[in-house]
């Protein structure tokens, strides 16, 4: 595994965040996954060295968590929520059409290395069911057609924007974000989409007053 100077600096910064170094284990596994696309024996050894743990200790942690992949993931990793609510609202249909289109099943990667797919559990996006994620970015209210269109665009190298976040990069870039957390993309996407705003919109339509007395609506723009 090739670790460049930038990554080494990031390792130091991540470890420095915590009062006890072992707490850096999960972020460091995300970091090595961002370098290699999966958590390899090399990656495990590297993390173990950094934290003065044995590779066996690191491996036993890595295998506990579903986000750490032992097989090579695709350049893009697509998840379809098939927990009850999403499944019923269309997740099962979306999953089947995606799996058929790519000719692969759960936890498999296309031969060209472009896509891997996974049946995922509830993404805290049930209000946006069926929930799909592309490199873990939300791709809400998915349909077989919308997912198929995204696949075509990603193949063609055209930009695809998350429904509530940034333009899709790739799986490894997201893993890097998870390791370092602040990646400069927080300003992408809306503050909230129409579903997150459903209650506020309903309240405003009915003229229901804002309730936070210390900050009446008239304070707008004062700062």
Partner 1 sequence: MATPLTPILTAHWDDPDSFTIDGYSRHGGYDALPKALAMEPDAVIGLVKDTGLRGRGGAGFPTGLKWSFVPQNDGKPHYLVVNADESEPGACKDMPLLMANPHALVEGIIITCYAIRARHAFIYVRGEVPHAIRRVAAAVREAYQAGHIGTNIHGSGFDLDVVVHSGAGAYICGEETALLDSLEGRRGQPRLKPPFPAVAGLYASPTVVNNVETISNIPYIIRNGVDWFRQFGTEKSPGFKLFSVSGHVRSPGVYEAPLGITMRELIDYAGGMREGSELKFWVPGGSSVPMLTAEHLDLPMTYEAMAEAGTMLGTATPMVFDQTVSVVKTVTRWLEFYKHESCGKCTPCREGTSWMTGLLETFEAGHGQESDLQIIDDICHQIAGRSFCALGDAAATPFPGAMKYFRDEFVAGTHTSADDAFNPVASTVLAGASTR
Q: Which does 150 bind (CB under 5 to 8 A by kind): partner 1, ligand FES, none?
A: none
String of contacts with partner 1 for each residue 28-47, x by CB under 8 A? -xx-----------------
Burial of residue 34 (CB within 10 Å: 0-12, 13-18, 19+) is buried
- Does residue 125 touch ligand FES according to CB under 6 A? yes
- Does residue 85 touch ligand FES according to CB under 6 A? yes
- Does residue 196 touch ligand FES according to CB under 6 A? no
Cβ 33 vs Cβ 69: under 8 Å? yes
- Does residue 116 touch partner 1 according to CB under 8 A? no
CA–CA distance, 114 with 62 (Å, rounded to integer): 24
- Does residue 133 touch ligand FES according to CB under 6 A? no
- The SS3 assignment for 79 reads strand
- Interface size with partner 1, residues (CB under 8 A): 90
- Does residue 164 touch partner 1 according to CB under 8 A? yes
The nearer residue to ligand FES, 46 or 95, going by C-beta atoms, is 95
Tell me which of 34, 38, 109, 123 binds partner 1, using CB under 8 A. 123
Question: What DSSP line would sit under 128-164, residue for residue?
Answer: GPSPEEETTEEE-S--HHHHHHHHHHHHTT---B-TT
- Residue ranges in the chain assigned as alpha helix (H): 5-16, 25-36, 41-51, 55-62, 84-86, 92-102, 144-155, 171-180, 198-205
Query: Nearest distance from residue 108's CB to ligand FES, in Å?
Result: 21
Q: Which does 152 bind (CB under 5 to 8 A by kind): ligand FES, partner 1, none?
A: none
Tell me which of 33, 123, 133, 163 binds ligand FES, using CB under 6 A. 123
Query: How crowded is residue 49: how many other Cβ atoms within 10 Å of its Cβ?
Result: 11
Query: Nearest distance from residue 111's CB to partner 1, in Å?
Result: 26
Tell me which of 2, 4, 6, 64 binds partner 1, using CB under 8 A. 64
Q: Characterize the bridge pairing of strands 115-120 and 108-109.
A: antiparallel
- The SS3 assignment for 116 reads strand
Q: What residues line the site for ligand FES (CB under 6 A)?
A: 81, 83, 85-86, 122-123, 125-126, 129, 131
């Amino acid at each position: 595994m090739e670790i460049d100077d930038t990554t080494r600096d990031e390792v130091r910064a991540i470890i420095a965040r915590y009062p006890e170094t072992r707490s850096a284990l999960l972020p460091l596994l995300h970091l090595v996954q961002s370098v290699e696309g999966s958590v390899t024996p090399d990656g495990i050894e590297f993390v173990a060295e950094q934290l003065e743990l044995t590779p066996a200790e690191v491996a036993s942690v890595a295998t506990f968590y579903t986000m750490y992949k032992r097989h090579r993931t695709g350049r893009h990793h697509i998840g379809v929520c098939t927990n009850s609510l999403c499944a019923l609202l269309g997740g099962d249909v979306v999953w089947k059409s995606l799996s058929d289109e790519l000719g692969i099943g759960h936890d498999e990667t296309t031969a060209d290395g472009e896509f891997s797919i996974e049946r995922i559990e509830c993404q805290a996006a049930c209000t946006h069911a069926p929930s799909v994620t592309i490199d873990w970015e939300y791709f809400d209210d998915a349909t077989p057609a919308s997912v198929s269109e995204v696949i075509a665009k990603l193949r063609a190298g055209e930009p695809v924007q998350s429904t509530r976040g940034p333009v899709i990069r790739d799986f490894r870039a997201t893993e890097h974000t998870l390791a370092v957390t602040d990646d400069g993309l927080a300003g992408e996407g809306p503050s909230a989409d129409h579903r997150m705003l459903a209650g506020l919109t309903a309240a405003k339509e009915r003229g229901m007053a804002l309730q936070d007395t210390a900050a009446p609506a008239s304070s707008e723009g004062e700062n």
